[in-house]
């Protein structure tokens, strides 16, 4: 499949690239927050724009022809650095950092002004976005990966902007379908619940299943 | 409710602010894409970061203490400029621009490298994010608004990065619950289907319902 790339990078080179990706994306995340919240006047906006456009021109001197894709390295790790939720190189991603334990996968993440829906609250769709990734990655970690078939999110109460915790568990596996459940909570109280049904794609059910199965390490 | 702000801005002032918001957020959107796709070396990354941080410092000279919130203007329009899907001032938002017709609400939007999930494909959670907003706004336009109660998304086939079309309709209203259905399609083929159940919050069921009901214009 196009966009799935095999690489052979040394640990030092990987660490170097990770540091660079996080540093530039982190700067842009801070800029995003400043853009949402700024109250400066037109002259300052114009000056900021000039600086931003100069930065963009530098970054575009040498660039990928399309999206980042997913990179597998010979050490068994996988990089989804362009991913809209996990991607350390993607300023849209908070990024979410997942922790996998034997029976639960979890994350804690701070969501600022850029993730707003109703006033002062996390956008319900942002919770769905994070849950989709969390549930899918949980299935992948448990070696029962797949593409999202159905995602259902039940919103129990408002989720204020700030720190949230996500948790997910594989509930059961039925043939090529894996059922994963998860929650979002704030201060120990559940604000949203989700169920995801992940389906192993046809192309991955035979010999090619190693493409999805071989790696759970997220660099 | 905190974060719901009443303002009295002239049409000229609103237009001026809209232009400024779109210009700065548009620059940052372009920078986000460049950040995901850049291949430049460390010296260039460092130089770009310096420019970005200088821009951020300018924008932070005067800023809102928190998120943008939702602003109602005396002319009856509503601004959700910080919204993670619609917000013209929020670089995370594509932004989605909604079109409301009597029996259908729709949007067409280009999703680039920053919205990637599986390699080359739109992140399933990004589709859920857009559908949540599209369905909720459709209910609001039909004067049966509410907070999302349940969102169910069924993924029918992969959605490649690029142009997508979203459509939504109010299916039925049952007391304080509104059922809205929607689709995402690419080149006329449906790739995802959604149903949303939106519930009028208790605080909005009595006298205060005008807060949600009074306005459907999105500035």
- Residues B200, B108, single domain; the answer is yes
- Residues B167, B85, single domain; the answer is no
Give the model's pLDDT for residue B206: 62
Q: Say whether B18 sits in a helix, a strand or coil.
A: helix
CA distances from A52 to A189, B112, B153 (A): 40, 19, 36
Q: How confident is residue A2, by pLDDT bands cut at 50, 70 and 90?
A: low
pLDDT in tens, A70-96: 999 998 888 999 999 999 999 999 999
Q: How far is B103 from chain A (nearest CA, A)?
A: 23
Q: Which residues of A touch B82 (CB under 8 A)?
A: 36, 113-114, 116
Give the model's pLDDT for residue A206: 63
- Residues A79, A10, single domain; the answer is yes
Chain A touched by B109 (CB under 8 Å): no
Consecutive 10-residue averages of pLDDT for chain B (219 residues)? 82 94 97 98 98 98 96 90 97 97 97 97 97 95 85 97 98 92 98 95 62 43
Report percent pLDDT > 90 for chain B. Answer: 81
Q: Which residues of B touch A58 (CB under 8 A)?
A: 40, 44, 47-48, 51
Q: How confident is residue A148, by pLDDT bands cut at 50, 70 and 90?
A: confident
- Residues A136, A64, single domain; the answer is no
Q: Is the pLDDT of residue A198 over 80?
A: yes
- What is the domain-level CATH number for residue A102? 3.10.129.10
**A126 vs B2, B84, B152: nearest CB:** B84
Torsion, Cα of B129, B130, B136, B142 (10° steps): -170
Chain A touched by B38 (CB under 8 Å): yes
Q: Which residues of A touch B180 (CB under 8 A)?
A: none
Give the model's pLDDT for residue A4: 84
Please answer whether residues A104 and B149 qualify as being in contact, where contact means their C-beta atoms are separated by less than 8 angstroms: no
- Of A69, A95, A121, the last residue of a domain is A95
Mean pLDDT of A169-195: 96
CA distances from A55 to A92, A210, B32 (A): 17, 40, 11
Q: Is the pLDDT of residue A218 over 80?
A: no
Which residues numbered 61-90 in A keep a CB inside 8 Å of some CB on B? 61-64, 66-70, 82-85, 87, 89-90
* Nearest of B146, B113, B135 to residue B194 by alpha carbon: B135
Q: How confident is residue A202, by pLDDT bands cut at 50, 70 and 90?
A: confident
- Residues B133, B196, single domain; the answer is yes
Give the model's pLDDT for residue B208: 43
Q: Is the pLDDT of residue A122 over 60?
A: yes
Ordered strands of the A77-79 beta sheet: A4-7, A70-73, A77-79, A217-218
Q: Is the pLDDT of residue A40 over 50?
A: yes
Chain B touched by A120 (CB under 8 Å): yes
- Residues A88, A165, single domain; the answer is no
- Residues B65, B117, single domain; the answer is no
Residue that wins the pLDDT comparison between B48 and A201: B48
Please answer whether residues A219 and A73 qualify as being in contact, where contact means their C-beta atoms are separated by less than 8 angstroms: yes
Give the model's pLDDT for residue B215: 39
- Residues B70, B153, single domain; the answer is no
- Residues A112, A197, single domain; the answer is yes
- What mean pLDDT, rounded, does chain A reach? 91
Mean pLDDT of A160-171: 98
Please answer whether residues A130 and A109 qualify as being in contact, where contact means their C-beta atoms are separated by less than 8 angstroms: yes
Query: What is the count of structural domains for chain A?
Result: 2
Give the model's pLDDT for residue A210: 46
Mean pLDDT of A108-137: 97
- Of B75, B95, B115, the last residue of a domain is B95
- Residues B42, B106, single domain; the answer is no
Mean pLDDT of A176-182: 94
Residue labelled with tokens 């707003």:
A116
**Residue A150 CB contacts under 8 Å (≥ 6 apart), including other chains:** A195, A196, A197, B152, B153, B154, B155
pLDDT in tens, B19-51: 999 999 999 999 999 999 999 999 999 999 999
**What is the rounded distance in angstroms from the CA atom of residue B41 to the CA atom of residue B197?**
48
Range of the domain at A158: 97-218
Give the model's pLDDT for residue B209: 45
Q: How confident is residue A205, by pLDDT bands cut at 50, 70 and 90?
A: confident
- Residues A150, A43, single domain; the answer is no
Half-sphere exposure of residue B49, counting CA atoms within 13 Å on the CB side? 17
- Residues B86, B119, single domain; the answer is no
Chain A touched by B162 (CB under 8 Å): no
Give the model's pLDDT for residue B171: 96
Report percent pLDDT > 70 for chain B. Answer: 93
Helix axes B42-59, A11-37, angle to 10 degrees: 20
Q: Which residues of A touch B113 (CB under 8 A)?
A: 64, 66-68, 82
């Amino acid at each position: 499949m196009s966009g799935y790339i095999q690489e052979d990078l040394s640990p030092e080179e990987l660490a170097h690239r990770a540091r660079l990706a996080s540093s530039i994306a982190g700067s842009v995340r801070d800029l995003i927050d400043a853009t949402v919240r700024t109250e400066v006047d037109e002259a300052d906006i114009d000056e900021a724009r000039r600086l931003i456009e100069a930065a963009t021109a530098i970054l575009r001197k040498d660039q990928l022809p399309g999206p980042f894709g997913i990179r597998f390295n010979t050490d068994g790790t996988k990089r989804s650095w362009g991913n809209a939720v996990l991607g350390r190189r993607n300023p849209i991603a908070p990024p979410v950092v997942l922790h996998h334990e034997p029976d639960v996968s979890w994350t804690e993440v701070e969501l600022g002004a850029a993730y707003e829906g109703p006033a002062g609250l996390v956008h319900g769709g942002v919770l769905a976005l994070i849950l989709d990734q969390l549930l899918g990655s949980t299935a992948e970690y448990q070696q029962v990966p797949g593409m999202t078939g159905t995602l259902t999110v039940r919103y129990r109460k408002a989720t204020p902007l700030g720190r949230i915790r996500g948790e997910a568990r594989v509930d059961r596996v039925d043939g090529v379908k894996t059922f994963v459940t998860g929650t979002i909570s704030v201060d120990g109280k559940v604000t949203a619940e989700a169920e995801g049904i992940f389906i192993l794609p046809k192309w991955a059910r035979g010999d090619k299943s190693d493409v999805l199965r071989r790696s759970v390490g997220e660099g």
